[in-house]
Structure 1
Amino acid sequence: MDSQKLKVLFISSEVEGFSKTGGLADVAKALPLELRNLGHEVIIITPFYRTIAHQEDAKQVHELTLHTDNSRPDIHFAVQQLSLDGIKVLAIDNAHYFDRAGLYGEENNAYPDNGERFAFFSLAALLTSLAEDFAPDIIHCNDWHTGLVPYLLKTRFYETPHFAHSKTVLTSHNSAYQGIFDKSQLNLIPEISGCMDQRVLENYSYINFLKVGVIYASKVNTVSPNYASELLTPLGSHGMSDHFIERIHDFEGILNGCDYNDWSPENDKLIPFNFDSHDLSGKEKCKVALQKEAEFEVSDVPMFGMVCRLTDQKGFGLILPVLERFLKHNVQFVLIGSGDPSITGQLNALSEHYKDRFKFINTYSNRLSHLVEAGSDFFLMPSIFEPCGLNQLYSLAYGTLPIVRAVGGLKDTVIDYDQDPDNANGFMFYDPNPNQFLNILRRALLLYIEHPEEMLRLKQQAMRSHFHWSDSAKHYQRLYLRALGRG
């Protein structure tokens, strides 16, 4: 094999097409496909959740045992094989850990044994690599769920010939989620539960999965250059800045791409009318369809859309204090999402009171997500922090102008109209202040009302903003080669 063609073991707790709670799943589908297109051999390992178990093409290929110490019984598990557009997907099948209604929890509450579940997953993934006789050049770990893999490679599997030349890359998709658990959840990995290194077991009592991954991985990255910069600061690092600074020479930001196979208004099968940057008449028809879906009056008023998890991260501390004032304007606003019950309650009350201009749909629906992107004039992302963000990329593709806060990947991808009108593709504000957010909403509203020709130009310009996964994959390829000392 060409020395530049690599074997990549891609380990992720979710993969689009099989399981999904957020952007990690999108990356875990799109990036392996692009790596395969570059000529690399990729195998994906993920849990065999209940959401996957119904797939008819799943085929059991291994029965394996995870040997523990004498304090607890060995753990038996199967490995199911599936396919992602020709890429082998190996799913770790253990009913105790993964046959549950949710991936990480239910009704907004995390499963109390998540530390044990993903400690098991990390070990099982490496045992599966052995069983497959797939000796990876690169083991690509994703988020805290796989943070123990680099540590295990340097402890339990240190003298295993199969992994003798393997290097690890850890991608943090959102460093606010770190996987912090009491050491009692690590009993199935004696190397950790009995560890006396405070970098691994803090105060000898609890573990931070993400921190362990950052310390032990060969290379570390996150999902946008600006978020990488933020992670080096106390304010933007979620308490992890010292650890990222320690790895500064092995740490970088690589911007996520957009999967234009799924998110292109020209061929999107989930929207009622297709369109492109040369002819936006289909977008206007999608707007009418969205108005009917939301039971709004069909009229030429500005349509604002939002699709997200209902969490503080997404900026609801900025939205809720000014939403009623914003709805006094002649606007329409459709919000799709689920999550925090306290946010849900307030949105339900406002939706009931302003039925003619605000529709809150408490769910996640792929069809509605596509319709909101296609039918809206503006898309709201006033995030407190946003490692990369994908919805602003989808919005740009559909000529829906993103209104964002200047953080993380939002700052890397959106060009503000007031700062650079000639090249702009959206609107951006800086301070996490509700009134600043309201001001930028009104700024966008004013442009829509007073300058329709300029609005059309901006929409077309937004649609020419492209962020291809093929470019991102080449950055990852270079990162892999540097990890292997071939850079």
Structure 2
Amino acid sequence: MDSHKLKILFISSEVEGFSKTGGLADVAKSLPLELRNLGHEIVIVTPFYRTLNHREHAQQTHLLNLHTDSSRPDIQFSVQELSLDGIKVLGIDNAHYFDRPGLYGEDNNAYPDNGERFAFFSLAALLTTLAEDFSPDIIHCNDWHTGLVPYLLKTRFYNNSFFTNSKTVITSHNSAFQGIFEKSQLNLIPEVSACMDERVLENYSYINFLKVGVLYADKVNTVSPNYASELLTTLGSHGMSNHFIERIHDFQGILNGCDYNDWSPETDKLIPFNFDSNDLSGKDKCKAALQKEVGLEAIDVPVYGMVCRLTDQKGFGLIIPILDRFLKHNVQLIIVGSGDPSITGHLTALASHYKDKFKFIDAYSNELSHLIEAGSDFFMMPSIFEPCGLNQLYSLAYGTLPIVRAVGGLKDTVIDYDQDPDNANGFMFYDPNPNQLLNILRRALLLYIEQPEEMLRLQKQAMKSHFYWSDSAKHYERLYQDALHLDQHWEN
């Protein structure tokens, strides 16, 4: 093996440009591109969903059979090839599992057979690698959807010379989502469904895909140093602390980067006026355009923006109790997102009451997301937990001061104005308490009204905060090298 050039198999349930529900897709695009730029050879494997973008350009390269056991027929699937800026993307195509309207579910409900779907995907990804004759040094797994891959490498493929030198890395992008399913969904992989090991099948009745990945991968990481430290605690680990502690010598946090090709106010084609840290006049024009776009009066008041999935994780349990009091101030608020119907209902009711101050858009729009980042004065992210977060990185790039809770990657990337005014790039609070959030929102309002020159200085300082994927990729490169130097003997 050339120590300077690795063959990396990158397995992900979504990839930006092809399929996306969240930040995993952004990582699955940006990280492989940067690893390729470092000289490594990358192949990406992902499901060939019905809704996959550019699927009409795919070329079928293989027709394969997944052998189960004598009790059920083999599962046939094809491999469809696409390209991500020259990186080979292989889509696992099986109509039964992936010819559906959603990636993981519909109408806010997960597909009941997701365990079987992604057990199939994990095994099919390895069979595809064999068919491609791409013998990887590193198999990089992502989230629970790929949690069975490290286990399969150490069971079904343990004596397969093709994978003799392959090592596995699993990245947990959000450990709240663990993929917990009944054993019955694993019948297509007998060595899993018949396993007597409590680390794999708990109570011999159900599986936690993420737990299996964490326990069997050669290296484990998550998407920010602070979130990694939280995962070692009972309070911050979503019930997984014992498993991360068990792997503590092989576990670390690597901060996600920001794709400045898509998120830069100087070059962004989705905003009406471009600007940079030397001249923010274009930002003022974007603010007026945003106000007009959502139907708010274009007046000189602070605009607070928020774009996210409507879930408890994003802090709506803190927002909704104080929103009525906050909107009595001379402010404007714009929230864009979809998700939990109860949150949607609360926001819709408040928006109808404060029509001249609060606009709620119950949908996701990439174009509007860019305009909110460019045109808002502040961006709200009062998350209950946040593994890394991307919107605070986008906000910093656009001089839109993030207002965040001190958790996960938010704490790693935002410097609070009151704690360190000389180096600050936003505002941060600690306790998951609605009144704490209200206080920090009012603190930002005071800065806007009473210290406009200081506000401008802070905006310019925020725009100089950079988090490059090229830096993150070098950390992953070192993680891969560490994995390849392991000399461990696994029971199987």
Superimposed CA distance per residue, residues 291-344 of structure 1 (whole angstroms, 9 cap, x where no aligned partner): 001101111110000000000000000000001110001111111100000000
Tell me by how many angstroms 1:54 deviates: 5.2
**Would the aligned equivalents of 2:92 and 2:124 in 1 still touch at CA under 8 Å?**
yes
Task: Tell me how far 1:51 sits from its aligned partner.
Answer: 1.5
Identity of aligned residues (%): 84
Q: Which residue matches 1:215?
A: 215
1:4-403, aligned counterparts within 5 Å?
A: 4-52=4-52, 55-403=55-403
* 1:450 lines up with 2:480 in the alignment: no
**Matched residue SS, 1:415:** coil
Q: Could you give the per-residue CA deviations for residues 397-424 of structure 1, whole angstroms, max 9, x where no partner exists? A: 0000000000000000000000000000
Counterpart of 2:288 in structure 1: which amino acid?
Answer: V
Matched letter for residue 173 of structure 2: H
Tell me if the contact between 2:17 and 2:53 (Cα under 8 Å) persists in the aligned partners. Answer: no
Q: 1:4 deviation in Å?
A: 2.2
Amino acid at match of 1:193: S
SS class of match (2:43)? strand
Letter in structure 2 aligned against 1:79: V
Supply the AA of the counterpart residue of 1:282. Answer: G
Letter in 2 for 1:40: H
* AA partner of residue 240 (structure 2): M
Q: SS where residue 334 of structure 1 aligns? A: strand
> Does 2:432 align with 1:432?
yes
The equivalent of 1:420 in structure 2 is 420
Partner Cα distance (1:108, 1:324) in 2? 27
Name the amino acid aligned to 1:359.
K
Please give the per-residue CA displacement for 1:122-176, whole angstroms capped at 9, x wherever unaligned: 0000000000000000000000000000000000011111101000000000000
CA contact (8 A) 2:318 2:433 kept: yes
Q: Secondary structure at the match of 1:237?
A: coil
**Whole-angstrom CA distance in 1 between matches of 2:468 and 2:299:** 35
- Distance across 2 between alignment mates of 1:464 and 1:400: 12
Letter in 2 for 1:16: E
* Alpha-carbon offset, residue 53 of structure 1: 6.3
TM-score (norm 2): 0.98
CA–CA separation in structure 2 for the residues paired with 1:284 and 1:63: 55
Residue 463 (structure 1) aligns with: 463
Deviations 1:365-418 (A, max 9, x none): 110110110000000000000000000000000000000000000000000000
Q: Which amino acid aligns with 2:441?
A: L
Letter in 2 for 1:43: V
Between the aligned partners of 1:400 and 1:54, the Cα distance in structure 2 is 33
Amino acid at match of 2:199: R
Residue identity opposite 2:164 in structure 1: A
1:235 corresponds to which letter in structure 2? L
Aligned length: 487
Q: CA deviation at 1:72?
A: 1.2
Q: Which amino acid aligns with 1:475?
A: H
Q: TM-score, normalised by structure 1?
A: 0.99
Alignment-derived partner of residue 484 in structure 1: 484
Give the Å deviation of 1:52: 1.5
CA distance in 1 between counterparts of 2:94 and 2:273 reads 43
Could you tell me which amino acid in structure 1 is paired with residue 349 of structure 2? A
2-side partners of 1:53 and 1:381: how far apart?
Answer: 29
Please give the secondary structure, in 2, of the residue aligned with 1:31: helix
Structure 2 counterpart of 1:107, which letter? Answer: D
Q: Give the direction of change, closer, same or farther, for the CA distance of 1:266–1:481 in structure 2 (3 Å limit).
A: same
1:277-298 Cα distance to aligned partner (Å, 9 max, x none): 0011111111011000110111
The 1:460/1:44 distance shift into structure 2, 3 A limit, reads same
Give 1:486 shift.
7.9
Name the CA distance, whole Å, in 2 between partners of 1:23 and 1:129: 25
Aligned with 2:286: secondary structure? helix
- What are the superposed Cα offsets for residues 71-115 of structure 1, whole Å, 9 maximum, x if unpaired? 111100001000001100000000110111110001110000000
Cα distance in 1 between the residues matched to 2:404 and 2:57: 41
Report SS of the residue matched to 1:92.
Answer: strand
Structure 2 counterpart of 1:47, one-letter code: P
Conserved 8 A contact 2:200-2:212: yes
- Contact residue 4 and residue 39 of structure 2 kept, 8 A: no
Whole-angstrom distance in 2 between the partners of 1:261 and 1:12: 22
- Counterpart amino acid of residue 295 in structure 1: G
Q: Which residue of 1 aligns with 2:406?
A: 406
Cα separation, 1, equivalents of 2:382 and 2:71: 49
Any gaps of 5 or more consecutive residues in structure 1?
none
Q: Deviations over 1:424-457 (max 9, x none)?
A: 0000000000000000000000000000000000
Q: 2-side partners of 1:307 and 1:40: how far apart?
A: 35
Q: CA deviation at 1:56?
A: 2.8
**Amino acid of the structure 1 residue aligned with 2:40:** H
